[in-house]
Amino acid sequence: MRIADYSVTKAVLERHGFTFKKSFGQNFLTDTNILQKIVDTAEIDKNVNVIEIGPGIGALTEFLTENAAEVMAFEIDERLVPILEDTLRDHDNVKVINEDVLKADLQTRVKEFENPNLPIKVVANLPYYITTPILMHLIESKIPFAEFVV
């Protein structure tokens, strides 16, 4: 069973007593076909590092870790960090960072990848209202990202 399976998502949220925060525009994908299409569209493989923005409970992250060299997941909601540590405990190529990506020093963060010379792709399932500010922040960071899939 996958994190994205509705019954698993529901059980994880209940086990952790998680309630959605409207101010973050939170929504969690529970369609594994969509998640696989995101990974396929981004052409994620073991020769790529990924920055994921807004991993939620780790549904997309799970797919990314199975395909990427390494995943750095930025989660602004501190309540989700212990959930991510739980759901992703079997994946050793992911680093969860409890930080607002808009305030992150991305130049420093990308150096934390085990192999920072690999191409870096950004993958995110973002609320509409925050997409443009995040894309601008990424572009202004002057990091030569290989691709954005948002």
Q: Which residues are annotated as a binding site?
A: 27, 29, 54, 75, 100, 125
Tens-digit pLDDT profile for residues 105-122: 999 999 999 999 999 999
pTM: 0.92
pLDDT tens string 47-96: 999 999 999 999 999 999 999 999 999 999 999 999 999 999 999 999 99
- Binding-site positions for S-adenosyl-L-methionine read 27, 29, 54, 75, 100, 125
Mean pLDDT of the chain: 93
What domains are there in the chain, each with its CATH number?
6-149 (3.40.50.150)
CA torsion, points 45, 71, 101, 126, in degrees to nearest 10? 60
Q: Which residue has the higher pLDDT, 94 or 130?
A: 94
